[in-house]
Amino acid sequence: MAAKVNVSLFVPEKLGTIDPLIYGHFSEHIGGVIYDGIWVGENSHIPNINGFRKDLVEKFRAIKPSVLRWPGGCFAEIYNWRDGIGPKEERPIIRNWWIGDDGRYETNEFGTHEFIEFCRLVGAEPYIAANITSMTPMDIRDWIDYCNSPAGTTTMARLREKNGHKEPFNVKYWGVGNETWGGGGNMTPEVYGHEFRKYSVIMRNSASNLCLIGSGANHNDWKWARDFLNVVENSDRNMGGFSLHFYCGTQGTATEFTENQYYRLLRQAADIKSAIDRNWGFVVGYGLEKHGRLVIDEWGCWHKGGSGPSADLINNNRQAAANNPNRVENLFEQQSTMRDAVVAALSLNIFNNNPEKILMTTVAQTVNNLHSLFLAGDGYMICTPTYHVFDMMKYHQGAKALRIISDAGEITYNNPENGREERIERLSLSASEKDGVITVTAANLSYNDELHFDLKAYGVKLQDVCEYELLTSDDVHHHNTPEEPEKVKLSKGILNVNDEIIIPPYSVATLRMKSI
């Protein structure tokens, strides 16, 4: 079926600036993210730049990753930064946080210097999540000192120079713990409130102009946010970011799902809007908005494991796997279909439409883990459909968000978990303007219907010619594999903005238009 939708774009109304940091990423020492994914080592047969997988660096850089969060996640809470500096051969091998799940040890080949170098290679700001459960405030102070003190000043700055980097790394963004309600210390909100006060005062004392990010709630756990901020309230008014983690998933598998499971996953993803509103309400309620905004530093789809190429490799070639006892399926590696691409566009549209509330978001995770942009192993490196969404939406970074609405209405479906009728919007939209160019991103959430999109812009006269990028496929389950790396790929073209624009079901389109 085809449905006609009228879309109205109100150019004079600016909703705020879309912080480039909204287009950020997360890379943890878990499964195949760092080792095999980003880092292959200088002596690898895989083409690399100083040990970093070359094709991944190039592809990643192209989509302008604004910020990269590291080293975890849960891993951050057992990470001793001193293990990851100095000569590689002297760095200790430790038990990874996730060793119980995938048997991997941490070699510490990739440490602070490698992280900063990778950030510089791809053009991202570094964001370090500090360990506050198994390191002291003084240890974190030393880490900040090591990263940020001017050349030749402190003992830590000299140690950095001895390890090959004279100039400071100038890391501005520091997380004060991770998921402190769970893996990060299993704290109550009140206990974390006191820990935050303690660590943040020492961290701030270690360098100027730091942006400290408090570890916030999971999903809609507003009570946690309230009780934590209640303790923090009268002390640290300089919390630059208040974090929120939001995953959606377990609707079928990554690659096999029904129509109702498709819609249910999208509905879960769309609920991030209410989590943003609630958490923002507390930020404002406690008067913290003058200094900080929300940081959604883990978001994306979390499907059942076992759908990625590393699982295929082991399942299809047990002999090879048996010959290599170190070859394990990457923990939380999953395939990414057109459904995940639509979730990514829907989420980024929501972030674009709330620029005054959101400082930063980092999707989980860059490669071989959860809602990845890349899947990489020995002999392959592929981009997922989600990669293309980040590519086609990069133009919104730093642009002024505009109001855009449609009469597309809602779709009704049955929640597969309880049979109840639920609804989801048919069309997800966001728009922005930068340097005289207007960018509109439209995700058609329908499973069946193509949308005939009639765009009217108010308060501006547009040139007739418009650039068009479309991510679509014949089947919503389609995804890229090492054998078919471009089954889902971006198409680009030019069209007349006055013509009807057709967006196929479960597809994402970006329009780029200039005013006269």
- Report the catalytic residues: 179, 298
Q: Which among 335-343, 362-370, 401-409, 461-469 is the span making contact with ligand AHR, rule CB under 6 A?
A: 362-370
Based on CB atoms, which residue is closest to ligand AHR, 19 or 28?
28
- Residue 439 CB, shortest distance to ligand AHR, in Å, is 29
Based on CB atoms, which residue is closest to ligand AHR, 275 or 411?
275
φ, ψ of residue 374 to 5 degrees: the values are -135, 150
φ, ψ of residue 281 to 5 degrees: the values are -55, -40
Distance CA 242, CA 216 (A): 6
- Residue 343 CB, shortest distance to ligand AHR, in Å, is 16
- Residue 373 CB, shortest distance to ligand AHR, in Å, is 14
**Roughly how many angstroms between the first and final C-alpha of the chain, as a whole number?**
35
Based on CB atoms, which residue is closest to ligand AHR, 15 or 128?
128
Helix (H) or strand (E) holding 224: helix 222-232
Q: Are 11 and 438 in contact (CB under 8 A)?
A: yes
SS3 annotation, 311-376: HHHHHHCHHHHHHCCCCCCCCCCCCCEHHHHHHHHHHHHHHHCCCCCEEEEEEECCECCCCCCEEE
Distance CA 325, CA 94 (A): 18
- Residue 179 CB, shortest distance to ligand AHR, in Å, is 5
Dihedral angle computed from the Cα positions of residues 210, 51, 334 and 132, in that order, rounded to the nearest 10 degrees: -30
Based on CB atoms, which residue is closest to ligand AHR, 366 or 472?
366
Distance CA 138, CA 271 (A): 39
Structure-token pair, residue 494? 């030019």
Distance CA 208, CA 170 (A): 10
φ, ψ of residue 430 to 5 degrees: the values are -150, 160
Based on CB atoms, which residue is closest to ligand AHR, 34 or 370?
370
Q: Which amino acid is residue 50, in one-letter code?
A: N
Contacts to ligand AHR from residues 323-342, by CB under 6 A: none
Based on CB atoms, which residue is closest to ligand AHR, 360 or 392?
360
Structure-token pair, residue 458? 């108010």
**Peptide bond between residue 71 and the one before it cis (omega within 30 degrees of 0):** yes
Distance CA 449, CA 453 (A): 12
Contacts to ligand AHR from residues 20-49, by CB under 6 A: 28
Based on CB atoms, which residue is closest to ligand AHR, 362 or 480?
362
Sheet holding 437-444, edge to edge: 490-496, 462-471, 507-515, 437-444, 427-434, 400-406, 2-17, 450-458, 501-503
Contacts to ligand AHR from residues 370-399, by CB under 6 A: 370
Strand blocks (E) in 395-487: 400-406, 410-414, 421-425, 427-434, 437-444, 450-458, 462-471
Distance CA 411, CA 263 (A): 9
Contacts to ligand AHR from residues 163-182, by CB under 6 A: 178-179
**Residues in contact with ligand AHR, shown as a per-residue x/- string from 70 to 89 under the rule CB under 6 A:** --xxx---------------
Q: Which amino acid is residue 378, in one-letter code?
A: D
Based on CB atoms, which residue is closest to ligand AHR, 96 or 352?
96
Q: Which among 50-58, 68-76, 415-423, 452-460 is the span making contact with ligand AHR, rule CB under 6 A?
A: 68-76
Based on CB atoms, which residue is closest to ligand AHR, 72 or 137?
72
Distance CA 468, CA 238 (A): 42
- Residue 370 CB, shortest distance to ligand AHR, in Å, is 6
**Residues in contact with ligand AHR, shown as a per-residue x/- string from 449 to 468 under the rule CB under 6 A:** --------------------
Distance CA 362, CA 497 (A): 33
Distance CA 27, CA 65 (A): 12
Q: Which residues of 430-456 are buried (b: 16+ CB within 10 A; e: fewer)?
A: bbbbeeeebbbbbbbbbbebbbebbbe
Based on CB atoms, which residue is closest to ligand AHR, 88 or 304?
304
- Residue 372 CB, shortest distance to ligand AHR, in Å, is 11
- Residue 137 CB, shortest distance to ligand AHR, in Å, is 21
Q: Which residue is nearest to ligand AHR (CB)?
A: 73
Select from 119, 187, 231, 364 the one that contacts ligand AHR (CB under 6 A): 364
Give the count of residues interacting with ligand AHR (CB under 6 A).
Answer: 11
- Residue 161 CB, shortest distance to ligand AHR, in Å, is 32
**Residues in contact with ligand AHR, shown as a per-residue x/- string from 269 to 308 under the rule CB under 6 A:** -----------------------------x----------
- Residue 249 CB, shortest distance to ligand AHR, in Å, is 11
- Residue 455 CB, shortest distance to ligand AHR, in Å, is 37
Q: How far is CA 187 from the centre of its chain?
A: 25
Site residues, ligand AHR (CB under 6 A): 28, 72-74, 178-179, 183, 298, 364-365, 370
